[in-house]
Amino acid sequence: MAAALPPFWSLVEAHGDELLVHARKLAGEQHAEDVLQEAFLRALRAYPRLRHARHLRAWLYRITTTTAFDLHRVRRREVVTDEPPTVPVEDDHDDGGFEALIAPLPEAARTALILRFVEDLDYDAIGASLDCSPVAARQRVSTAVRSLRERLPS
Amino acid sequence: MTPLSDRFLESLAAAAVHDGLADAVFTRLSTPIGRLLVVQGAEGVVRVGFEEEPEDRLLADVAAGVGPRIVASDRELATTRDALSAYLEGDSDSLALPVDLRLARAPFRREVLETLHREVGRGATISYGALASRSGHPRAARAVGTACARNPVPLVVPCHRVLPSTGGVGSYGGGVARKVALLELEGVLPRRLPSTG
């Protein structure tokens, strides 16, 4: 079997709080907990199939992001449209959903999100990579998350 | 950052169990013999840890043996918690919990622990040698000692009831003081302190 994966709950305890903040930014206070619960359940479904235990935090951020968008689509469909439901499966570390989600963003935003949530870099390293300070790096990621949020049609 | 609420965590764990996504569930429990960590799989209790054992290492061992999808829930393990509390507080005479001995990896150790779980009830004791014979390995008293020392589910499989034939209480994975306390609770040893019951 795969490399030793940590007990799943240790990820919930270590990263749950910050993931809830992320879910709030994307889905709003009202839906944040629903998004996060669904994201953790999707992560559990995929967890035993992971081939390594690296960058699990970034992986959870990506799942939370795609889940926020999927649940938003479901809610909209219930209200106004009749698009067919999409049932995404996070098969592995390379969940295509996240990349597709950020594809329409401006390049600067996309780069910031990839460095943070795919490459799993901290703000020091992102700053080094973008040739700016860690504070500025944090700001760029935060701006990028906001532009992602704006793509959620209201 | 606001921490996740207990309500959220319980709801997540319940959904994971309901959807068949949990390999095991754990709970932390305060008892008269200290804090316990109890881990349970679909078949029964797989691990009981005393408070001296580092929790992260214990759960990592369980993850390696049972699977990494481990969640925490007091509510999902309410029956097990109630049974252990009642037993350790002296409100209940027996501790009949299903057990899953997957973490006792050697077949010999599993046999010994199964025999002990099945045959040695509250108030009874057995010597290492007698337990060896009863498990079908009459010459393996010393190995029985190892099996007991590494019992992954103390209390539920009552290795505190295994005593040396030479007298005294012998050793215990959870420390001799706890072994004595358990034997007092079960009436095998006289209580040193007057009972308040």
Question: Looking at residue A90, what is its pLDDT?
Answer: 47
Is B144 a residue whose pLDDT tops 90?
yes
Question: Looking at residue B105, what is its pLDDT?
Answer: 87
Q: What is the pLDDT along chain A (154 residues), one digit of tens a residue?
A: 446 899 999 999 999 999 999 999 999 999 999 999 999 999 999 999 998 999 999 999 999 999 999 988 777 766 655 555 555 544 456 565 888 889 889 999 999 999 999 889 999 999 999 999 999 999 999 999 998 888 876 5
Q: Are B190 and B62 in contact (CB under 8 A)?
A: no
Q: What is the ipTM of this complex?
A: 0.89
Q: What is the pTM assigned to this prediction?
A: 0.86
In angstroms, the separation between the Cα of residue A2 and the nearest Cα of chain B is 10
Residue A18 with chain B: CB contacts under 8 Å: 1
Q: What is the pLDDT of residues B39-54, one digit of tens each?
A: 999 999 999 999 999 9
Q: What is the mean pLDDT of residues B88-103?
A: 90
Contact assignment for A44 to B9 by CB distance below 8 Å = no
Confidence of residue B9 (pLDDT cuts 50, 70, 90): very high
Token couple for B3:
């921490």
Residue B54 with chain A: CB contacts under 8 Å: none
Confidence of residue B130 (pLDDT cuts 50, 70, 90): very high
Strand partners, B38: B27, B48
Question: Looking at residue B197, what is its pLDDT?
Answer: 41
Distance, CA of B98 to chain centre: 11
Question: Looking at residue B90, what is its pLDDT?
Answer: 86
Question: Looking at residue A3, what is its pLDDT?
Answer: 65
In angstroms, the separation between the Cα of residue A90 and the nearest Cα of chain B is 14
| Mean pLDDT (chain B, rounded) | 93
Residue A40 with chain B: CB contacts under 8 Å: 12, 16
β-strands B24-31, B70-72 pairing: parallel
